[in-house]
Amino acid sequence: MHILSIATLFPNPVKPSFGVFVGNQMRAVVARGEVQLTMVSPIGVPLWPLSMREPYSRLKAIPEVSDVVGLCVHYPKFTLFPKVGGDTNPGRIAHAVLPLVRRLHAEKPFDLVDAQFFFPDGPAAAIIARELGLPLTIKSRGADIHFWGQRPRALEQMREAANQAAGLLAVSEALREDMIALGMPADRIQIHYTGLDREKFHPIERGAARALVSAMPNLQIWSEGPLLVTPGALIPRKGQGLVIEALTRLPEARLALAGAGEDEARLKAMAKRLGVEDRVHFLGLIDHELLPHVMCAADVLVLPSASEGLANVWIEGLACGTPIVIPDIGGAREIVSDESAGRIAARTPEAIASAVEDILAAPPSQADVAEHVSRFSWGVNAENIVHFWKNVLGGPKEDHGPEQMLEVGRP
């Protein structure tokens, strides 16, 4: 199979950890040897003079083709209108990508056009698939449905793309139901759970991990006291402020925020105002090689997002043996199946603090926590998306084993 895959969220030479989970998936797909993959990651750059400012000036300098992220990836540039032009991004992406893919298709024809996010990738890929006369598949991951599905103009484009698609994927059963509720065809939506780098994310004895990260001068994580970790971009949707407020009810606990973003100044001011600034540490962006050690060192991973499909970081935290506290969103109940995995808590400081207290009072073993995600791997993830593409292209319907059906299969 020759697959043309389009992903606006994908690692690049300037931001190698951007969309790292999509990069992991596609590297695993290529490693199977059954797919020739042409990966296209459109880069949005605004018009001058904004294009001369950070981060756009660095993004503008990304080469048209690069293999620095472990795959050969095309990075065509499209015109971005920051904050105001989101609903119209699909058309501009398709306009920028079509000359490239027409040329590549003429050299060696594609069999299928794939989009790795529902918006803006899905409608853009739908335009490209129509122009090339090829079948279309689209994967949904969470915010692409929950945020853009609330915007009428974007939702109209998403529905049109869904109706055109030969097959659709959702990262959880809950997200599949949300897609159906938006008017997408239920009979075409299958479940495709995320993968996991099992070499990186596995239990390291908590005391040893804590000693390691507390000894690193670039981290300066406390060596004593219960440690909470909240990984993710510092943006309002992730809800780090709720965890900071919960600290006022957890007098012994420390909180490490692993991420960077626009909300950092507000969160720092909140920590100071609430009198907990000496117990909140802003780690900034954490290298993906170091993140597992931070997770293993934590007693609880807390992530009170407003929306998720099935967050990769939930799986990674559990794989490290760290129980999680998350809201009842997306595929939360598909992951937190009993108290050894953590707690599902309302998005309030009181509920978060109560859930953390429960876990600290009777912590599960790291081995018991990690067992909840024993079925996840990038190998299984890649195997199942390849099966999905084969079936879409009309090959013989392949019989998935019980474990594979957890990844791809109509419920």
Q: Residue 72 sits in which domain range?
A: 2-195+377-405
DSSP 8-class letter at 115: E
In a domain, 147, yes or no: yes
Q: Do residues 65 and 214 share a domain? A: no
Q: Do residues 136 and 158 share a domain? A: yes
Q: Do residues 190 and 245 share a domain? A: no
Contact yes or no for 113/128 (Cβ under 8 A)? yes
Q: How many residues belong to the chain?
A: 411
Say what the pLDDT of residue 85 is: 83
Q: What percent of the chain has pLDDT over 90?
A: 88
Q: Do residues 291 and 393 share a domain? A: no
Reply yes or no on whether the pLDDT at 389 is more than 70: yes
Reply yes or no on whether the pLDDT at 110 is more than 60: yes
Reply yes or no on whether the pLDDT at 273 is more than 50: yes
Using a 10 angstrom Cβ sphere, with 0-12 exposed, 13-18 middle and 19 or more buried, the burial of residue 268 is middle
Reply yes or no on whether the pLDDT at 51 is more than 50: yes
**Can you give the CATH number for the domain in which 222 is found?**
3.40.50.2000
Q: Do residues 155 and 179 share a domain? A: yes
Say what the pLDDT of residue 410 is: 33
Question: For 140-191, what is each residue's pLDDT tens digit?
Answer: 999 899 999 999 999 999 999 999 999 999 999 999 999 999 999 999 999 9
In a domain, 91, yes or no: yes
**Distance between CA atoms of residues 335 and 357, nearest Å:** 20
User: Could you give the number of structural domains in the chain?
Assistant: 2
Q: Do residues 258 and 231 share a domain? A: yes
In a domain, 410, yes or no: no
Q: Do residues 222 and 98 share a domain? A: no
Prior bond to 16 cis, omega within 30?
no
The amino acid at 86: G
Q: Do residues 83 and 177 share a domain? A: yes
Residue 77 CB neighbours (<10 A): 15
Using a 10 angstrom Cβ sphere, with 0-12 exposed, 13-18 middle and 19 or more buried, the burial of residue 213 is buried
List of E strands, 131-219: 136-140, 167-170, 189-191
In a domain, 322, yes or no: yes
In a domain, 361, yes or no: yes
**What is the rounded average pLDDT of the residues 51-80?**
93
Pairwise pLDDT comparison (264 vs 407), residue with the higher score: 264
In a domain, 201, yes or no: no
Q: What percent of the chain has pLDDT over 70?
A: 96
Using a 10 angstrom Cβ sphere, with 0-12 exposed, 13-18 middle and 19 or more buried, the burial of residue 411 is exposed
**Distance between CA atoms of residues 155 and 381, nearest Å:** 28
Strands 342-344, 36-40: pairing is unpaired
Phi-psi region of 152 (alpha: psi -120 to 50; beta: other; left: phi over 0): alpha
In a domain, 411, yes or no: no
Question: For 189-222, what is each residue's pLDDT tens digit?
Answer: 999 999 999 999 999 999 999 999 999 988 889 9
Reply yes or no on whether the pLDDT at 396 is more than 90: no
Following DSSP, what letter does each residue of 241-263 receive, concatenated?
HHHHHHGGG-TT-EEEEEB--TT
Q: Do residues 326 and 389 share a domain? A: no
Q: Do residues 312 and 401 share a domain? A: no
**Distance between CA atoms of residues 370 and 195, nearest Å:** 14
Tokens of 401: 């084993």
In a domain, 63, yes or no: yes
Say what the pLDDT of residue 83 is: 81
Mean pLDDT of the chain: 93
Q: Do residues 280 and 168 share a domain? A: no
225: three-class secondary structure by DSSP = coil
Rg (CA), the chain: 21
Reply yes or no on whether the pLDDT at 238 is more than 90: yes
Q: Do residues 145 and 227 share a domain? A: no
